[in-house]
Structure 1
């Protein structure tokens, strides 16, 4: 059996943000064709917390709210809900309904609610929420994409150039090879090779490699075999960007360790670390910034003082992304 990563939402969150138009094109074509992609769309990362501040919405990293423009010229909102933990949730449809009407109530804009089910429950397919009382009936129906269904459409996944073809393949094979690391190694190699055969640009390849590498985790020995095979392919001139991919993997390991070290030092020194500080640290990908925060965590006198330094460190980064 292969050790599972606990932070399974993060790679999906990144991939949704990176390829959002292609996601709608692949899973929800009606929504895709209604949107004017010549106009910029905007991710609203804090919107879900504002819609339901008392729930654990902040931990649902893969749920996304996106402001878009329709071809009619109307401003609209897209709610993308992604279930990745593989667990039945009897309140899932109700949650979509609640977010839908609260978002409409806040902004008075029409809302498109969409659901991607990445779980392993074949018969769990929530697509509507309704209730009726005293002659009054309320109902919401929403499109659903069930990733398990694509297991029977493998040829289509192999042939499409949409990045979500290979994303879905990686997800399905990660699930299918949970207890079979040798088979997972072979599929991981096949999928990485496939990246270079689809004509993606360098940035797309690196982002897709990051997703595959994250969800198809291997035991240490097989992970080393994977790296060795990648190097062999590079020497045979069959693959481009492999050196960049390996550097990326090394850099991400350094950054992830740095994040964990900062949080651990804070926990040791102050026992409890506010959730918003942990989330802010986990969003930082700059190794030098994390090095600064590590030194600060060791010497700072209090959590509020650390928060002030954290705000200063992240302020330039936030302004660059807006």
Structure 2
């Protein structure tokens, strides 16, 4: 199973930023005045981090906040969610930090959530000393692998990111076992239904969980059948929204025989047999393996492309060193 962690993290951090900070960075959260609005500066950060050589990442955010200490000036929180080990990660944190400071001349607090599966990779600083000059950035990190304790104790965890962390960790541990993942996803879904949260919050969090914990179509349908039975025993009816979420997240891509036949028979044979959807899914898997998580526009382009264009992109992929090289049509 090929998992997409990029899009759900972008959504959940934007919608629940105070809870994110409270769960992963409680000391910083305690110093921020949450009665005042916080402002995301994504376009400004994009302009400062446009260099391709700075590398790929799951997510970066720049947020303007005010502190509780009465200081009138606002502070910039530079946040990274990093999903794989990267030897240049600490240097990138340093580069972004000084670029943001250079642009705004305001204090910048950089911090990172590391969601990779390597327990020992924990970069926390970058700098140097030369000829009596010291340059150093030390930044706090939260390591997803340290939050496994929330899984058996989820019933008592009120912060939404306990559930998000559980979904992420369970998705990683069940990557090669779809049946175990279905069971885990079902347990998390039932727990969501049991929460005394408002309807939209539950739907938003299911969207993230559904995105992270992808299931093959047959097992996804089995899960949906369970949800139908669950709703019949309760007063809550979220299934119509959940079905829509499934469509939006691409859970039903490769429905019927597309993905299975595309994987078993290969891209060329899948195209010859009219399995355009299976071919698109296989090409998506190949692109993720070489270039990392795909943006939403690229995913949509793959889903909508005709068979002959998929065939051309597959041929381009053989020698491509970038996504642009894959999608050229000359």
TM-score by length of 1: 0.74
Query: Does residue 43 of structure 1 match 2:47?
Result: no
Q: Which residue of 1 aligns with 2:243?
A: 246
Gap regions ≥5 residues in structure 1: 265-277, 285-322
Deviations 1:241-261 (A, max 9, x none): 23332243345559999xxx9
CA distance in 1, matches of 2:85, 2:295: 26
SS at match of 1:31: helix
Q: Which residue of 1 aligns with 2:19?
A: 22
Q: Which residue of 2 aligns with 1:144?
A: 141
Contact 1:68/1:77 (8 A) holds in 2: yes
CA distance in 2, matches of 1:122, 1:153: 17
CA distance in 2, matches of 1:251, 1:150: 29
CA distance in 2, matches of 1:256, 1:13: 21
Q: Paired residue for 1:207, among 201, 204, 208?
A: 204
CA distance in 2, matches of 1:136, 1:251: 52
| RMSD of aligned alpha carbons | 2.8
Contact 2:174/2:181 (8 A) holds in 1: yes
| Offset of residue 281 of structure 1 | 5.3
Q: Which residue of 1 aligns with 2:189?
A: 192
Deviations 1:152-179 (A, max 9, x none): 4534444210000000000000001111
TM-score by length of 2: 0.72
CA distance in 2, matches of 1:254, 1:146: 28
Q: Which residue of 2 aligns with 1:81?
A: 80
CA distance in 2, matches of 1:90, 1:251: 34
SS at match of 2:123: coil
Q: Which residue of 2 aligns with 1:167?
A: 164
Contact 1:48/1:57 (8 A) holds in 2: no
CA distance in 1, matches of 2:9, 2:251: 21
Give runs of aligned pairs for residues 1-322 of structure 1, distance below 5 A. Answer: 3-5=1-3, 7-55=4-52, 60=57, 62-71=59-68, 72=70, 73-84=72-83, 87-237=84-234, 239-250=236-247, 253=250
Matched pairs, number: 262
